Amino acid sequence: MYHGKTGDSPCSPADIDAARETLALGPLRLLITAAGAPDLHYAAPETLRSTSHIVVEFKWSSVPVRVLFNQFNHLPDAVETTQEFHDFWYFWGDVQQRIDYDNWKFVQGIEYPTNTIEERNGMVWSSSQALNVEIDVPIDDKVFAMDSAAAKQSTSSPGWNRPFRGKTDTALAPGIDLFPGSWNSTIVKEPGGVVILEAPISGLYTQGVIDEARKRYPGAPIQGVLSTSDSWPHTGGVRQAVAEGLPVYILDLNRPLLDKMVSAPHTLHPDELANSKSSKSGKAPQWKIVSEKVDVGSGANRMELYPLRGASTERQYMVYFPEHKLLYASDTLALNDDGSLYDPELMHEVDQAVRRENLKVETVFAMHQGPVAWDKIVALIEKSQHS
C-alpha cells in the first residue's frame, strides 16, 4: 500500500508484483531463490557483452527464470524472465524481461550491483543507480504497519482485467449512449447496426461493451469499433475486437504498433484471440485505416473521422457527428477540479483541426470527459493563453 499524509491507500497489482519480484529475484535474494528451486538446472552457455556466460534456469511462482553468470568472476550479470505484467505492459501478454547488473561494489563483505537496467521485449524500460548502499540498517517496524482494509483492497484488485458496468450511461443524442468510467466507451446506433466508440482497458471490459450493445439492440450487427488513439489503455480491448471478427478503425500511424499488439504471444494467460489463433480459424485483423476524412454509418448518427495531426495529437483522430454538431475529441479533453483545462495544448490542437475541417461544433466529449459546451472549451483555451 501507499503511506500518505491522509492515511494508507491501496496499491496496484503491478506494485505487489514488483515487490514480490524484488524480494525473490533482486540481487540480494536471487541466488538463494535459485538454490531453493527444485527444478534448477544448467542450460547452454551464452555470450553476453562479448563474454561467455554460464546459464542456469528454474521456475519461480510459475515464472521461468534464467540467470547468466560471468564465467570469470562468477557474478550474475543478467536475470531473464518471461511473464505477464500488470502495469503498462499488461496488453503485450508474454513479455521478455532482462535485468542487467553492473557497477559492482564491495560493501560490508558483499558484492552488490549498484546499476540495474531493465529491458522488456528488447527495449530499455527503466534504469536505476544506487548512490549509497548500506546493509542491515535498523528499520522502525512502524514503516511496515498498514491499514488492513486498504491492504485487502490491494490484494483483491482485478487490475486491468476489470469488468464493464453499463448502469450509468448518458444519452448524448438518440442512439448515442456514453458509458463513463476511467476510460469512456460510447455505443452508437446506426440504421445498419451498431458502432462502438473505443475498446479500452481490457478484453473483458470491451466484451462487456459489445454485450451491452447486443442487449440494447438485439439482432443489430456490430458494424465496427473505433479506436482513436495509440495510448495503451485506449487499445486494451482491440485484441478482443479482432477476436470477435469486427472491423477496427485505426489511425494510419498506429498500425505498426497495433499489428505488433495483435500478434504478441499470450501463452501464459491466453485471451480469446490467442485461443482463436491456436485453431485453424485464427482471426486476422480487419483494419480500417484513417489517413484522411472517413465516413462511418448513415442517418442522424453518421460519423466523420478526422486525423488530428497536431504536435501532441498526431496519433489520435476525432469523431464528428454532423447532424448533432457533436465532437468526440479522443484523449485530449479533461477538466481539472477548478474547471481549467488539464492540458490546454491538446485542446488547442483540437480547435485547430476543427477550424481546418470547417466543423460546426456545439458540444464536445472525450475519453476522460463527459459532454461540455464547445464555446466553454474555446474560452478556456483563450484563457490559458493569458494565465
Cα 34 to Cα 64, 96, 121, 125, 211: the distances in Å are 11, 19, 23, 25, 46
Q: Which domain holds residue 101?
A: 2-155
CA 77 – CA 99 distance, rounded (Å): 8
Confidence (pLDDT) at 302: 98
One domain, residues 301 and 196:
yes
Confidence (pLDDT) at 251: 98
Single-letter code of the amino acid located at 12: S
Cα 302 to Cα 155, 176, 323, 325: the distances in Å are 44, 11, 8, 11
Confidence (pLDDT) at 121: 96
Tell me whether residue 165 is in a domain: no
Confidence (pLDDT) at 157: 87
One domain, residues 89 and 176:
no
Confidence (pLDDT) at 282: 60
Tell me whether residue 353 is in a domain: yes
Tell me whether residue 161 is in a domain: no
Phi/psi at 291 (nearest 5 deg)?
-120, -15
Torsion-angle region of residue 109: left (phi > 0), alpha (psi -120 to 50) or beta?
left
Instruction: Label residue 387 exposed, middle or buried (CB < 10 Å: 0-12, 13-18, 19+).
Output: exposed
Confidence (pLDDT) at 319: 98
Confidence (pLDDT) at 5: 87
DSSP category for residue 162 = P
Q: Whole-prediction pTM value? A: 0.90
**Residues in the chain with pLDDT values less than 70:** 277-282
Tell me whether residue 164 is in a domain: no
One domain, residues 192 and 330:
yes
Total number of domains constituting the chain: 2
Confidence (pLDDT) at 142: 86
One domain, residues 314 and 203:
yes
One domain, residues 204 and 271:
yes
310 Cβ partners below 8 Å, 6+ apart?
346, 348, 349, 350, 352, 353
Confidence (pLDDT) at 155: 87
